[in-house]
Chains A and B, each alone.
Chain A
Amino acid sequence: MDFDNFDVFSDKAEVADADRVLLLDPDQLYPDPENVRRDIDPATINEMAGTIEARGQLQPVTVAPKDEEGRYRIQFGERRWRACKQLGIKVRAIVAKADDPAQVRIDQFIENDQRENLSTADVVAFVAKEVASGRTLADLARQTGRNRTLLTRYHGLASAPDYISALLADISMRSAVALTQAAKVDDAATRTFIANTATEDMTVLACERLARDVGAKKTSAPTESAAPPPVMQPGADGEPEKASDETPVDPPAPTTDKIRDELAERAQDATPVSLTAVSSASAPAPRSAKAKGGKQKIERPTIEVDGQRAIVVEALLHFDGEDTPRIVSWR
């Protein structure tokens, strides 16, 4: 550690000033090479430069404390900085007090994620990196406010075959999970599907159909029935994460759904629920019958009938404020 030209007083004064907005030359700032957002679209920079030119830079960027060369690493606001640079104007910046890279990574993720514009590839890379550095998925879920099952699926994608990883920037997470599942069973068929399908046509529906098709071809009934749901309590429908928490590395998504479907069938068989009897249901407000795009996440409510818990698949419900009862389905 070098104390040449060190001034305890001015250094502390600078720390004390840290929360104030400074006007910095763009050249004093540099991007974080580890920024969670890796894809930056030049078009959005132009757009942003336009707004900044018109209205000024409303939101200051956040930078790490001055480094040894007197420069500031950007923690948040790389695009704002690029836009200012392009305009040749000074950047309004706030110097963060502490610079804990691990926490900054989490914060960058939260900031970008909550605007819902990180690509699947970005999220997969982020989750894999955090897990590799020793963070548990449970901890990550807590810190980012994301569902743990979801993070588990993203983490599973980190070990997807290369030809699927290459698609991550363009296809949805669920499509990628389905393709990875399919690839495990029938690599060749999956490659063929990818080769013959435009990325915009790799919808969740199409990819899950592929997964089902190759699964039906090779694994068929034995695996289906050999996958009983021992960890799932019938009716523990709202908490499907429990099953996957123990094995955070696999992408258990389709399995969970499958289990849930099976449970639903079983519940139907075991207890002939009189639909009109659903009165004391602990059901959350149902999202009506529009289960879009095939296998979207379905949260089925549960009820208790004669001491036995059951999942509601379809029910005649009379909602407060509505004139007549109607059939609501969670299929």
Chain B
Amino acid sequence: MKTIAINVEKGGAGKTTIACHLAWILADAGHRVLFLDLDRQCNATAALAEFESLGTCKPLFEPRYSPPASAPRLSIYSNRMGGEYDADYTKALGNIRTNFPQLGPAFDFCVIDTPPSWSWINFAALMVADSLIIPVELGPFGPASTKQVSDSIATVNQRGRTKPIHVAGLVANRVKANDRAQMEMLAAIREKVGKNLFTSYLPDRAHYSQALQERVPVWRLNKDVRGSLPAMRAFLEEAMTRIGSNG
């Protein structure tokens, strides 16, 4: 099972949009896909209509976990936890570290959507993931969010992993191609992170959020998606190439 986490601490950067579309394209390709919706808002859970619920992800953080005997090809765990472990998460981290690999045989891919802001839950996501996709918004705080995520990565690599997480890359989201400030920021980020920046980016299109609302990927949205679909396709294709054989 290849596990891909979508993480950045900034809210509204496009984590859920990207995570859902990644899950959809993997599902369409016939893979067995597990979605781990760790965001308490559970927006991805609402959008991924065809993924069957395995219930709350809470058992993953508990001792004596056993994976579902026959998991549906498309399954989803949702974060329905009410903050049970927030006060004492060290055991929960130890447990998911042991439990998560047990899901490996049942799925080809696992996509993890993460909550905004740093927490032990994000630590857990980065700890169990093979690859990481980081959406960045080219707003005033975009660059700061990449510094935060690089600190998160360093923290997890030092404390939670033996093998460093594979950073599939940063992808610019909600890009307005006619906004000069944004294009300059994009160039600055590329200068800084080099090939770690996706060559494709996601433009600012209402279709992406409309698709999530309609609970379908943008390629099944009942609209003229000629202006929004190609960019999403290009991004997903690049993402799959970058994720490649890291697993």
Contact = CB atoms under 8 A, between A and B. Distances in A.
Interface of A: 1-6, 8-9, 11-12, 15-16, 18, 65, 97-99
Contact of B154 (A4, A8, A97): A97
B11 to A, nearest CB: 18
Interface stretch (B67-75, B116-124, B184-192): B116-124
Contacts of A11: 155, 158-159
6 contacts: A3-B90, A6-B159, A11-B155, A11-B158, A11-B159, A98-B157
Interface string B150-164: 011011011110101
B151 A8 contact: no
B93 interface: yes
Interface centre among B120, B155, B164 (most CB of A within 10 A): B155
A207 to B, nearest CB: 46
A5 B89 CA distance: 10
A12 B155 contact: yes
Contacts of A1: 94, 97, 159-160, 162
B176 interface: no
B118 A15 contact: no
B220 interface: no
Nearest to A98: B154
A96 to B, nearest CB: 10
A97 B153 CA distance: 10
A2 B97 CA distance: 10
A5 B90 contact: yes
Given A8-B119, A65-B158, A97-B154, 17 more contacts: A1-B159, A1-B162, A3-B89, A3-B91, A4-B90, A5-B90, A6-B93, A8-B89, A8-B123, A8-B155, A9-B118, A11-B158, A15-B154, A98-B154, A98-B157, A98-B164, A99-B158
Given A11-B159, A18-B154, A98-B157, A3 B93 contact: yes
A202 B155 CA distance: 53
Interface in B109-127: 118-120, 123
A271 B102 CA distance: 77
A3 B151 contact: no
Contacts of B157: 98
Interface in B123-166: 123, 151-152, 154-155, 157-160, 162, 164
A12 B94 contact: no
B145 to A, nearest CB: 13
Main secondary structure of the interface of A (DSSP, over half): loop
A99 B164 CA distance: 11
Chain B interface category by residue count: 20 to 34
A8 B154 CA distance: 12
A99 B157 CA distance: 10
Nearest to B122: A8
A8 B121 CA distance: 10
Contacts of A65: 154, 158
B87 to A, nearest CB: 12
Nearest to B118: A12
Interface centre among B90, B94, B119, B159 (most CB of A within 10 A): B159
A16 B152 CA distance: 9
A2 B91 CA distance: 9
7 shortest interchain CB distances as A-B pairs: A3-B90, A12-B155, A15-B154, A3-B93, A15-B151, A16-B151, A15-B155
A8 B91 CA distance: 13
A65 to B, nearest CB: 5
A4 B89 CA distance: 10
Interface string B54-93: 0000000000000000000000000000000000011101
A67 to B, nearest CB: 10
A202 B115 CA distance: 68
B123 A15 contact: no
A98 B154 CA distance: 7
Contacts of A3: 89-91, 93-94
A266 to B, nearest CB: 47
A99 B158 CA distance: 9
A3 B93 CA distance: 7
Contacts of B120: 8
Contacts of B123: 8
Interface centre among A1, A18, A98 (most CB of B within 10 A): A1
B90 A12 contact: no
A5 B93 CA distance: 12
A12 B152 contact: yes
A24 B194 CA distance: 35
Contacts of B160: 1
B61 to A, nearest CB: 12
A3 B155 CA distance: 13
Nearest to A3: B90
A103 to B, nearest CB: 12
Interface centre among A5, A15, A99 (most CB of B within 10 A): A15
Contacts of B152: 12
A18 to B, nearest CB: 7
A8 B118 contact: yes
B157 to A, nearest CB: 7
A18 B158 CA distance: 13
A18 B94 CA distance: 26
Contacts of B154: 15, 18, 65, 97-98
A65 B120 CA distance: 20
